[in-house]
Structure 1
């Protein structure tokens, strides 16, 4: 913690990370650096505005010079939400603490982005503001060694979705392309290995790095409707975000790549280029597009991912009743504007129907 200076730190985490001893280790490092610290470990998956309110109250009492978030995407997003709330409350007089993010899952890339997803009245709201971005990200894949297999798979598929969407997003560039291409190769090679054995240190390092690479990419290039649709259905049925992304991914690629028609638009050409990066058949744009879709399907089969949302126990009548509102919510999501094709609500409804 030699780079961290100040008198008081606030550590934001969850009870599991605290029980594993990571919070205590950070407190010891801070003490060695001369900082007092207080902890807030009430973060749960999909943090909501109520949790932010409790955290903000403690934040105001502590007035930390340093804020450290250690945990998965929910923890880091909650820390961002607390900073964002304080900034909105106090405006120009608010002094942002030095913000350190330590991810303990390999998925969200939240440690290097301006994005935060907060639940408000059952809906997932995407906040985007540079002010929330961490000042320092610490990547240590040892923190991932205790993650359950299902979480490893969900977060890993979130990485692949981040990368795939960033590659075709409206703001993609040579710089984000380079990050995406590396992240995609790492995920296809190493995610099955850590899904089989989380103690595989080399594979765990590579997937953890891929998460960060994809995070930097989408923070600059943008995302798309895969995330918009996932946010809406995840908030409605309380499903893991990465699993939602995984179940939607091939259908969104096919939609963006215009597979049912010409399969020769800009997005299709980009997906075909990713296929070439993976050494897949791509003699034509259509062949490359189909190859990439097939590769995603094969990866999901390796990881035992379900075929559709109906296999997750969602009642079909409840699903059908929710589709229109979910599509409306997805249309308004902050990720939709950077999708390579501007969708209609009816097209999003069609995608939802196809993935039940």
Structure 2
């Protein structure tokens, strides 16, 4: 038996955990920059962070809102070269946390934005405290930042990008529109499914299988578009479990073929992944039958068809596509998708079939 399990991020879960862990912020230093999404000022998260920093006599700079799906240039414009900060606080969804990781690099490395992809860095990135306000990305426990580059998205990956701490308070999810809750919950599911199928590891399986059990407990609420406080807590923790899974396993072709849907059609990332996830599971069934059967049992669905139906019922919307679009997205993503770790080799023809079966009906 051989596997690795390293999650260097300190994870703190619970109501008011930002305010209750003021000493953690103080231990990071006396000067910080806050990288945030636009919703951070609406859900109480930014207010809690600012109050906690002020109580600890920590000076702070609040950056402009991170746009959805930021580019390297967007990240550079948030802060640029600023060696006077001791740590970075990320408040928001995946875009804010991914941007914060790169701000942590640029704060101490005077490099062009695209040099984020050139490693190792001369200076170690600043520590990041991540406060997620959606239930999907898992970026609070990964060493990856995904940014939009050209026709697709490209990952900045470095072990030093793991946040130092993640503070999980489901109170910040209460103001989310139900569509964002559903999209991000589907993103967390995709992380767990992809990692579970592409890596045979007891550690990854333990986290993914627990996540499937949690997901089963609130899937009816996702379909019904109404959530209890306990369900929101489970959704947030499931997202973190998904982040732990992909920190060990990575993601599969599902994520890669989802990127053009986000870049060219502005489809939210979690929804873009969910649109093709069911067909990828069907594509993988001949080589991962035992795992997929167990996954479906834990999710309380009737096999692969039941899994696909569950996703269709949760999806906030199902956009229409033309055959020409599908061919274009295949051209954009196929080579990168084939290089990913997958359940079995994936050809360009396979990608076209998955797209077509998923999006053309």
Both structures adopt the same fold (TM-score exceeding 0.5): yes
Of 216, 233, 240, the match for 1:212:
240
**Contact 2:335/2:348, CA 8 A, preserved across alignment:** no
Q: SS in structure 2 opposite 1:338? A: coil
Provide structure 1 residue ranges, at least 5 long, that are not aligned to the other structure. Answer: 258-262, 281-290
Separation in 2 of the partners of 1:279 and 1:191? 10
Separation in structure 1 between the aligned mates of residue 42 and residue 338 of structure 2, nearest angstrom? 35
For 1:14, the equivalent position in structure 2 comes to 37
The residue aligned with 2:347 is 344
1:44 aligns with 2:47: no
2:177 to 122, 134, 148: 148
Q: Which moved more, 1:332-341 or 1:34-43?
A: 332-341
**Aligned counterparts, 1:1-356, within 5 A:** 1-4=22-25, 5=27, 6-57=29-80, 60-61=81-82, 63-85=84-106, 89=110, 93-169=122-198, 171-193=199-221, 196=224, 198=226, 200-257=228-285, 263=286, 265=287, 267-278=288-299, 291-303=302-314, 305-306=316-317, 308-310=318-320, 314=321, 316=322, 320-333=323-336, 336-354=339-357, 355-356=359-360
* Contact residue 126 and residue 333 of structure 1 kept, 8 A: no
Which residue number in structure 2 is paired with residue 260 of structure 1?
Answer: none
- 2:324 & 2:105 partners in 1: Cα distance? 34
Give 1:74 deviation, angstroms: 0.9
Compute the displacement of 1:304 (Å). Answer: 5.2
Whole-Å separation in 2 of the counterparts to 1:335 and 1:186: 31
1:98 deviates by: 2.2
Distance 2:356 2:73 in 1: 33
Aligned length: 328
Mapped contact 2:195–2:249 kept (Cα < 8 A):
yes
Cα distance in 1, alignment partners of residues 292 and 215 from structure 2: 16
In 2, are the aligned partners of 1:106 and 1:208 still within 8 Å (CA)?
yes
1:29 is paired with a residue whose SS is helix
Distance in structure 1 (CA, Å) of the matches to 2:293 and 2:214: 18
Residue 45 of structure 1 and its aligned partner are, at CA, apart by 1.1
The answer to which of 333-342 and 115-124 deviates more is 333-342
Assess, with a 3 A threshold, how the Cα gap between structure 1 residues 336 and 56 changes in structure 2: closer, same or farther: farther
Structure 1 residue 329: deviation in Å?
Answer: 3.3
SS of aligned partner of 2:163? coil
How many Å separate the matches in 2 of 1:97 and 1:116? 14
Per-residue Cα deviation, 1:106-130 (whole angstroms, up to 9, x for no partner): 0011100112210123421122221
Q: Contact 1:159 / 1:214 at 8 angstroms: preserved in 2?
A: yes
| TM, length-normalised to structure 1 | 0.84
User: Which structure has more RCO (C-alpha within 8 Å, separation ≥ 6)?
Assistant: 2
The structure-2 alpha-carbon separation of the partners of 1:87 and 1:350, relative to structure 1 and needing over 3 Å to count, comes to farther
Q: 1:336 to 1:242 in 2, by over 3 A?
A: farther
Distance 1:76 1:104, change over 3 A: same
Offset, 1:42:
2.2
Which consecutive residues of structure 2, in runs of 5 or more, have no partner in the other structure?
1-21, 112-119
Cα distance in 1 for partners of 2:303, 2:145 equals: 29
| Alpha-carbon separation, structure 1, partners of 2:222 and 2:279 | 26
**What is the TM-score with the length of structure 2 in the denominator?**
0.83
Contact 2:107 2:126 in 1 (8 A): no
- TM-superposed deviation, 1:43: 0.6
CA distance in 1, matches of 2:136, 2:197: 19
